[in-house]
Chain A
Amino acid sequence: MLCLGIEGTAEKLGVGIVSAEGEILANEGRPMPLREGIHPREAAQHHAQNIKALIERALSRAGVSMEEVDLIAFSRGPGLGPCLRVVAVAARTLALKYGIPVLGVNHCVAHIEIGRLTTGAEDPLTVYASGGNTQVTAYVEKRYRVFGETLDIALGNCIDQFARELKLGAPGGPIVERLAVGGSYVELPYVVKGMDLSYSGLLTAAVRQAKRASIEDVCFSLQETAFAMLVEVAERALAHTEKEEVLIAGGVVVNNRLQEMLRSMCEEHGAAFHAPPKEVLGDNGAMIAWLGVLSYLSGARQSIEETRVVQRWRTDEVEVLWR
């Protein structure tokens, strides 16, 4: 069985093809060139203009034809409405044209499952940080329960917005990471509430600090503070859930310093640290295809009417049928 998965919850469009055995035959992506933040309508247009070519590229990379595909999966949410709708329309069209089933799946759960597939992690605490999401989840009785999350903006959003305010360029993550090398610490607010965190105050303070301190120092301190907050929340959740593995997911955890900190925390608690390959860390089509496979094989079915997009769809609302 082959599943073609389409991801397009935000600025990145991805198409992946995965077999029922979990072999990733193709994972093609196309990020929208960003000058500033993501404009939902422009991103949707980008997806609409590129989706056909990207599907063809994925098929040719996998060396299969559409007739050999048995299932279509797409990211049904959470995400930006206009982007989700473009992807949904493409997925439904393919399904109807080729007479095969279509499944809309949860983007955040897909990140967790592709991580388990590619690293062999069995029952990890997942630290998921991207431009739009920051959450710490673990599996308990048929759900990925959210143990910690941001109370306001996501970690990636905090760093990207900081870079934008200072006109450093986009996307901000890699730029701030580069500038942070060799910086020294200037004080910034550290806000952890139980197992949750808050980044909006940190963003405001970092922008203000940049008027006084050097840009390298503020980038360094922003990273150190924002990452330490996330690692502490992960540490609390690890102690609380008593899991023995930590899995990372999302575009932000590509950051070397963040990975180093998480690895150090895992060592201290004797937990195994699992980092999936870079190609499946950020948003990608293969993760959607794989979750499509898992859902379908555990009996999930959706009529076309049931594939309506869900902009706000919490990770813990999805019933995990395959575990």
Chain B
Amino acid sequence: MEVIAKGAEANLYLEDGVVIKERIRKEYRIPEIDRVLRTTRTKREAKLLSLARRAGVPTPVVLDVDTERKSITMSYIEGEKLKYMVEKLGEGELRELFRRVGSLAARLHRSNIIHGDLTTSNMILSGGRVFFIDFGLGEVNPSLEAKGTDLLVFVKAVRSTHFTREKEILEAFFSGYLEEYPEGEAVVERMRKIERRGRYVSVR
């Protein structure tokens, strides 16, 4: 079995054209916490990958879930992570791409799906389509608070990682988001409120 990636919480193996994502045990946390986190995240991720696809968001197809091994077997998405594309794109292409990302995030939220870790590391461009992956921190939750936090995670990730292109990315993202989900205005409003609650946030 070939290890194709070693992430923070999981190892990814490629075997016969499918990916096995195995959440590995962490020595730093006690077994009680470790077991619960790995089990619930594995189950949740498998469920949300399917729900997201039904909501119109491209995701890998789940083939098997092993709650003993804490692993998910899913189809392999060949493509490039958006994280590595940002620097290479011209302004027009970049805006077009993140408009689509915004619209996909809106589809999730319209169906009350919270991704939980919306970053450009968890989005893959493949065959002209943007796939969302890594739903392990996600949940189904209709509340404005959950959706607003989901957006804030994305905004902050863009701010820390893509600071040179923050403005273009976020403008395009929110225009795509609101176009697909006009009621999302209230979510954006809540996101700003959540951010102001944080420590030492200067008013932007």
Contacts and interface: CB of A to CB of B under 8 A. Distances in A.
Contacts of A264: 27-28
Interface in A169-199: 185, 190, 192-196
A11 interface: no
B37 interface: yes
B29 A261 contact: yes
B29 A231 contact: yes
Contact of B198 (A151, A185, A265, A317): A151
B163 A141 contact: yes
Interface stretch (A27-35, A54-62, A206-214, A235-243): A235-243
Given A261-B28, A262-B28, A314 B200 contact: yes
Contacts of B154: 194
Interface string B10-28: 0000000000000000111
A150 interface: yes
B8 A149 contact: no
Given A133-B199, A150-B198, A193 B153 contact: yes
A196 B199 CA distance: 12
- SS of A interface (majority): mixed
A185 B201 CA distance: 35
Contacts of B198: 149-152
A306 interface: no
Contacts of A154: 199
9 contacts: A133-B199, A149-B198, A185-B30, A185-B33, A193-B116, A240-B119, A311-B200, A313-B202, A314-B201
Given A195-B117, A228-B29, A236-B9, 16 more contacts: A140-B163, A147-B160, A149-B199, A194-B117, A195-B119, A196-B153, A232-B9, A235-B8, A236-B8, A240-B119, A240-B121, A265-B26, A312-B200, A312-B202, A314-B201, A316-B159
8 residue pairs, one from A and one from B, having the closest CB atoms: A194-B153, A239-B8, A264-B28, A261-B28, A228-B29, A78-B200, A145-B160, A185-B32
Interface of A: 77-78, 132-134, 140-141, 143, 145-147, 149-152, 154, 185, 190, 192-196, 224-225, 228, 231-232, 235-236, 238-240, 260-262, 264-265, 268, 311-314, 316-317
